[in-house]
Amino acid sequence: MKLNWLNNGFICKELYAPFKIDKDSDYQNDLEKKYNIVLEQAKKANADDESLEIIKDYSAKILESLDLFYKADIAGSNNIIADLVKDIGNNKFAVNSVNNSDAFPGIKKNELQFFRSRLGSPNQSFTAKDMIHLPNSMRSKSGNYRFSIPGNPSLYLSNSSYGCWIEMGCPAEIDFNVSPVLLEGNQRIFNLAISLRDFRCLNEFEEKRVHCWLKLYLLTIATCYVIKEENRTFKSEYIISQSLMMACKKMGYDGIAYYSRRVDNEVFALCAINLVLFVDYNGEYSEMIKHIKIDDAFNYALYKQLNNSLKYKDYELRSVFTGYITNIGSFERQYPYRETDFYNFDKFLFSTWRDKPNAKGKDVIPWGIEV
């Protein structure tokens, strides 16, 4: 059965993510309004009864989870989200190996490139070891982020250097250092790279795929907020995302893929798809580092000082070989990612890692980071 109602007037501007609000205290009410809009739009589009029930059920449970958290019933709040993740189950659209995940467009047999960044001057030399997650002896320095909590850090990656740059708050070029990253590919990833205007993976609106997409979309909405209020120690917009992280870890998943919340609009996020990998310490580091390759970081300002013959290298990046428009910016000022220095930097990082004249390249070195 085909459920074509998603293309029958369901999309509306009020649901374009990310959602930007002024105050933390506005989050719960605004989220409830968003869910009401989803339900009304689905009714107008003549959605099937099961889809309408999914919207009502998931919306109510996510809002209940928030309410329990605010009442300090953290366990009850987390249990609700865990039950929703279990309900979604192992549908391959929702959970798949990172190389085969629908979160990342492009031909799935092609190499999937990632990037990781750190801030520091060109005088600082960040080795591959410096670019992995915090060691156990330094976990006290781990902070409060969208998909990680203090004491339980995660490893954040993006599918472009641009994605890293906006996630770091658009730092000065001289402070921006980036490493190319490859994953062995078997890591099981929960897909929250869900967009209201992206139906490319719905198999022509096949019923089970649409219902799975809808469940993921309702969870994604709760994680898509950017709150402008400054100097906060508590962030309401992290409640559901951090609960999802804990639920996915319990399910044995390795990470979560999601669109950057720092883009102007989700339509400009195909070159800013983030991947958070969970850290599960086994001694000083996690088992994760045995299934990853990372090169030493290179400074962006230093890259821009190179002659053109050194800067412009050829490399096929999966992030842009997708068949989709991969612009960045805003509706008023949008530019093809291929026409940016970030794109050239991405190719430079991977081509010079592959073709090292005095060391083994990425295709020769074994999986794992020496620590």
66 lies in the same domain as 202: yes
- Cβ neighbors of 41 (< 8 A, separation 6 or more) are 9, 10, 11, 12, 15
Residue 343 has pLDDT above 90, yes or no: yes
159 lies in the same domain as 229: no
Residue 203 has pLDDT above 80, yes or no: no
Q: Per residue in 35-76, pLDDT tens?
A: 999 999 999 999 999 999 999 999 999 999 999 999 999 999
As a whole number, mean pLDDT of residues 186-202 equals: 89
Q: What is the pLDDT of residue 212?
A: 95
Whether residue 294 lies inside any domain: the answer is: yes
Percent of the chain, pLDDT > 70?
99
Using 50, 70 and 90 to split pLDDT, how confident is the model at 315?
Answer: very high
32 lies in the same domain as 164: no
- CA distances 164 to 194, 309, 365, Å, are 19, 25, 25
192 lies in the same domain as 177: no
Asked whether the beta carbons of 321 and 313 are under 8 A apart, the reply is no
- CA distances 60 to 36, 80, 249, 349, Å, are 10, 10, 24, 46
Using 50, 70 and 90 to split pLDDT, how confident is the model at 198?
Answer: confident
> How far apart, in whole angstroms, are the C-alpha atoms of residue 51 and residue 39?
9
32 lies in the same domain as 82: yes
Using 50, 70 and 90 to split pLDDT, how confident is the model at 336?
Answer: very high
Asked whether the beta carbons of 161 and 260 are under 8 A apart, the reply is no
175 lies in the same domain as 218: no
77 lies in the same domain as 107: no
Q: What is the pLDDT of residue 357?
A: 87
204 lies in the same domain as 214: yes
> How far apart, in whole angstroms, are the C-alpha atoms of residue 101 and residue 256?
11
179 lies in the same domain as 223: no
Q: Quote the longest CA-to-CA distance of the chain.
A: 63
Residue 118 has pLDDT above 80, yes or no: yes
For residue 16, what are the domain limits?
4-88+188-239
10 lies in the same domain as 78: yes
Whether residue 93 lies inside any domain: the answer is: no
Residue 241 has pLDDT above 80, yes or no: yes
233 lies in the same domain as 104: no
Could you give the number of structural domains in the chain? 2
